[in-house]
Structure 1
């Protein structure tokens, strides 16, 4: 617990050091042309991270009793702010490209002026290293805890999710030729490579599971060795069903479609039992949530249309009720009367 507080102070100090000494360089008149207007690309959301840690997270940790559960609650209270790390991770490759690949002298000169052993790129790696450190420290707390284990586990899960989510955001940017707006498909839950069987075809696909969409893509290497994912097809999750097991293999599960033929079933073979279990668990949760939402929407529609209530059943027959009524009127310009018969039923 003491290590968490001590290293947090050092981390906040290093973030402040970057903002004090390196960030102002972006406002200089002699800044290289290809760095102009690139403040956000180089530093990402570092200022927001510093504000969060210096004004909120560190003071709470320092005031917190040195108990694992109490410290875990500090993480859980700021779960939304830890989402800053996924965005920072997503931006980091662009930052590296500007700093490392172009080798700008302006940053090197500043390092020499400060007499610093570390360069700017090393300092900018600190948030990536820090969130990994949180994960390790929380695992240590979990091993020591005798009570409130669930809260510590929830904090550890929160940090692990943000670490994975940063990679997921990077991978989403690498999906090409996709005609679906992925920002409208809910949160990206997970992504893995599967061997996919469909009818008599077999292929390897990178599959992405969003809250509202499952997407199939083909991995392709670029000229510089990076992976990109060529979009192949996708299906809305509210159109599919799932079978946990397949006769083909213990590593397989099936995805099928409502209102389609049984042969239109996709069998996905995972690389391990753990991967299969993770996918089937998440898919099952998504499908149950959608089923519950659809049922609720149908009930609301029935209530709105009066199909699920009988509001007039307590009205009793009465001799005073008007059951039949004839209305006579003369239409101007015509010689005969128009009779309108209204009938009311009890």
Structure 2
């Protein structure tokens, strides 16, 4: 029986050994421009024609991880010893992606390397190869252009389309305000519109002011140098908070406009000739969809900049900002459910990391806690599943604590006070399957946040 089982295993993994030996040779011989052709995942199409990726389990590893492909080259800054370089088209396994600003990845080359890379640098294999198949046609083809010159022209063409989309979006927001928002201020509107006006309009006026008077101007400023457009989005990162707020409110607005009295009133407005082309729902959808349009344009600009051997660093960071908007809107929804916190929860900022732990205060076990990591705090909360709320148990300032792995229990880490009178905590992930990755990620992220705040004593 044992011999037959051994033979089955040998047959099962024979193809894997061929794959890895080929991959080893390919990776050693590859260049950054041919990465996505040389290094590939095992893939096939299922019976419905969908593209599938197959995970390979090596050695004693019993866990499988999602496979992603690098959109662009990444080189760590000097001193970022935990980060690893990648090249466009390189395939990695993503071990942890909870913090969008840096993912823990493992390369598929032999021997594999494990380290951190910004999450915005990756795309799923399906989307990556789909995007690579799509190429722009120049409006005025020129056979004498070098590949780099052609790539720059295509990048500039993509930028021109981005600028056009932004101009049309600003016009649409202006129509939304003229056709609907201003009508809501009329004294003759139904009482329910007056009562729900703030909920129905969210921050639409703020969005219009931002796009019409700030973002559009920034895009126009770089129209003669599209390679630097990423700087506009980096400089205006805080202004995108309006999109985060709107996306958080979006689902509630959709529910409100289904209330019969509100729905009928909106239909009356929409039937007027000046607003007949779009419904209120249609305008709302445009505001949400503009973010995915930015993301697609950024990826295209990065692709052609990479082919032209131009820097993509600022565009990569801008893409990270755009891709984080949906998550941050969900974060805001979560924060509004926190009770028993003395401050303003909305000022806590982005949730950098979130996991559930068994917790000991000194040596005393307490109820399992969900931990939220912010840019300068850790918050422990107890989840009230009946009400879907969170009760704040403790909020720890990162300048008051040191984090380290536990010296005896390798499955836990400690949050240790730097001064007397503060509580001491030991934490063990409830996800026992991935406890090693969770601990590594938390310790790394906390230290990274502390260092960014100038706390180099840790």
The residue that corresponds to 2:358 in the other structure is 196
Match of 2:369 in 1: 205
1:279 aligns with 2:442: yes
Q: Any idea what SS the aligned residue of 2:237 has?
A: coil
Matched, 1:139 2:299: yes
Shift of 1:192: 1.6
What secondary structure, in the 3-state scheme, does the structure 2 residue paired with 1:28 have? coil
Supply the distance in 1 between the matched residues of 2:197 and 2:350 (Cα, whole angstroms): 28
How high is the TM-score relative to the length of structure 2?
Answer: 0.54
> Of the candidates 239, 248, 258, which is equivalent to residue 400 of structure 2?
239
**Whole-angstrom distance in 1 between the partners of 2:220 and 2:166:** 9
Distance change in 2, residues 1:77/1:291 (3 Å): closer
Establish whether residue 256 from structure 1 lines up as the match of residue 419 from structure 2.
Answer: no
1:148-187 superposed Cα distances (whole Å, 9 cap, x missing partner): 22111121122234443322222111112x1421459753
**CA positional deviation for 1:111:** 2.2
Whether the 8 Å CA contact 2:352–2:375 is kept in 1: the answer is no
**Partner deviation per Cα, 1:54-89 (whole Å, 9 max, x = no partner):** 233224434534765222122223233222212323
Does residue 124 (structure 1) correspond to residue 293 (structure 2)? The answer is no
Deviation at 1:108, TM superposition (A): 1.9
Counterpart CA distance in 2 for 1:240 and 1:156 is: 33
Give how far 1:33 is off: 1.6
Question: Which residue of 2 is the match for residue 109 of structure 1?
Answer: 268
Matches of 2:336 and 2:267, distance apart in 1: 31
Q: String of CA shifts for 1:245-281, please: whole Å, max 9, x gaps.
A: 776567x5432334569x9432242755776555333
Q: Distance in 1 between matches of 2:442 and 2:225?
A: 35
Among 245, 250, 261, the alignment partner of 1:92 is: 250
In the TM superposition, residue 102 of structure 1 has moved relative to its aligned partner by: 5.6
CA RMSD of aligned residues (A): 3.6
How has the CA–CA distance of structure 1 residues 96 and 259 changed in structure 2, closer, same or farther, with 3 Å as cutoff? same
Q: What is the DSSP-based 3-state SS (H/G/I as helix, E as strand, rest coil) of the residue aligned with 2:272?
A: helix
Query: Separation in 2 of the partners of 1:185 and 1:78?
Result: 18
Distance 1:244 1:131, change over 3 A: farther
Change (3 A) 1:185 1:63: closer
User: Do 1:214 and 1:235's aligned partners in 2 also have CA atoms closer than 8 Å?
Assistant: yes
Q: Is the 8 A contact 1:254 1:265 kept in 2?
A: yes
Q: Tell me: CA distance 1:183–1:217, structure 2 relative to 1, closer, same or farther (3 Å).
A: closer
Q: Is the CA contact 1:85–1:162 (under 8 Å) kept in the aligned structure 2?
A: yes
Provide the rounded CA distance (Å) in 1 between the counterparts of 2:438 and 2:400.
Answer: 23
Aligned pairs for 1:221-236 within 5 A: 221=385, 227-236=388-397
Cα deviation, residue 292, structure 1: 3.9
Pairwise mapping of residues 287-306 of structure 1 onto structure 2 (< 5 A)? 287-288=450-451, 292=455
Conserved 8 A contact 2:336-2:345: no
> Relative to structure 1, is the Cα distance of residues 100 and 55 closer, same or farther in structure 2, using a 3 angstrom cutoff?
same
Partner of 2:384: 220
Change (3 A) 1:57 1:216: same
Asked if the contact 1:185–1:210 (Cα under 8 Å) also holds between the matched residues in 2, the reply is: no
Shift of 1:11: 1.8
Contact residue 43 and residue 124 of structure 1 kept, 8 A: no
Contact preservation (8 Å) 1:185, 1:212: no
Contact 2:450 2:456 in 1 (8 A): no
- Would you say how many aligned residue pairs link Structure 1 and Structure 2? 290
State the partner residue of 2:316. 153
Answer yes or no: is the 8 Å Cα contact 2:203–2:246 preserved in 1: yes
Q: SS of 1:214's equivalent?
A: strand
Listed as ranges, the gaps of 5+ residues in structure 1 are 296-346
| Structure 2 unpaired stretches of 5+ | 1-157
Partner of 2:235: 77
Structure 1: how far apart are the matches of 2:406 and 2:224?
46
Which structure has the bigger radius of gyration? 1
- Separation of aligned partners in 2, 1:184 and 1:42: 21
**What is the rounded CA distance, in whole Å, between the counterparts of 1:117 and 1:219 in structure 2?**
46
How far apart, in 2, do the equivalents of 1:286 and 1:117 lie? 48
Query: CA 1:30 to 1:293, structure 2 compared with 1: closer, same or farther past 3 Å?
Result: farther
Q: Which residue of 1 aligns with 2:129?
A: none
Aligned to 1:217, what secondary structure does the other structure show?
strand
